[in-house]
Structure 1
Amino acid sequence: MARTGRRPGQTQTRDDILVAARNQFAAHGFRGATIRGIAAEAGVNPALVHHFFGSKDQVFVEVLNLPFNPALLVDTLLSGPREQIGERILRLFLGLWESPDTQLPFFALVRSVTTSPEVADQMRQFLETAVLGKVAAALDLPPLRLTGAAAQMMGLAIVRYVVKAEPMASATEDEVVALVAPVVQYYFDG
């Protein structure tokens, strides 16, 4: 009698899905790639893609080894009083850059998006769909304001963590938040 269920031992399925996802994102971009397309290329049922990763957003996070969870980012922005969004998002952002677990992946991400037009395009599509579009819709905010806030924070990251310009590089988190959070908040309130 044939056994049902998963085969015992290690499986290559997860890795096969990631390889297929890389190919699909490279060929079609974030918006054009689909769970069905990824599953078809990997030779698995789409339910297995969902089993291993949950959503297309999470597959993309794994493929690019992104150092953040977009759902957490969106939840952080949307939870709590609107008048404190600037501080919430800035503290989350600084925490990601300063954590030993996420700092190196963030540096790799910055290098990748600034040196590869393909990676930059995929990242742009992903951010527009998985983060910026969701937050703009939830807050009834013009997308330009949200991308302005993102630009402000990326500029801060470049100056503080990549260039390490003083005194910004050695300022405490509280000093940076006191200085920059009102500017970020402006994009949400303006």
Structure 2
Amino acid sequence: METGNPHDTGTAEARRPADAAAGASAAGAVEPVSPDDGPEWIALPPGLLKLRRLMLVVWLGLLALAAGLVPGLLAGPGWAGFAALPLAVLAWGWVMLERNWRSWGYAERADDLLISRGVLWRRETIVPYGRMQLVEVTSGPVERHFGLASVQLHTAAAATDATIPGLVPAEAERLRDRLTELGEARSAGL
């Protein structure tokens, strides 16, 4: 199934309808879902990309320092070139993190929530509202520093559990409340 890229960097006029919803999501507004149209994909905020890139720089920077310092001290200055490998991985990871971040999106439909992710292996999870048992918002210390939170969806079948990472806390709480409300309404008839 082909889905729109929720993070197209083109101008607003060149964006596809799914991309327009992504721009509204970044501003905190959510477009209503029309049953006649395809799903309106909401993109993850750019704060998640910043967080992941910072973690990449910290860890690979430490690895590059160790890879250049330890061989340089033990075997002489000619072996300090080992630091180039972590720096090359850093450059590659910088680009790959953006591609991964762009691949994430979610859409609220009338009866279920769609979560799409993945660059090489696209994965789309459909979580029916009536099957949700628990919706929780989590935020670790680093996420809180960047103003981010994650929404974790738990269902009766572990295969349909899903997570939406890196949301703005207000959007995470809104989504949690909406999904809980819809879940209770849909499961009342079971």
**Normalising to structure 2: TM-score of the pair?**
0.28
Q: More helix per residue: 1 or 2?
A: 1
**Larger RCO of the pair (alpha carbons < 8 Å, separation 6+):** 1
TM-score (norm 1): 0.28
Task: Return the index of the structure with the highest Cα Rg.
Answer: 2
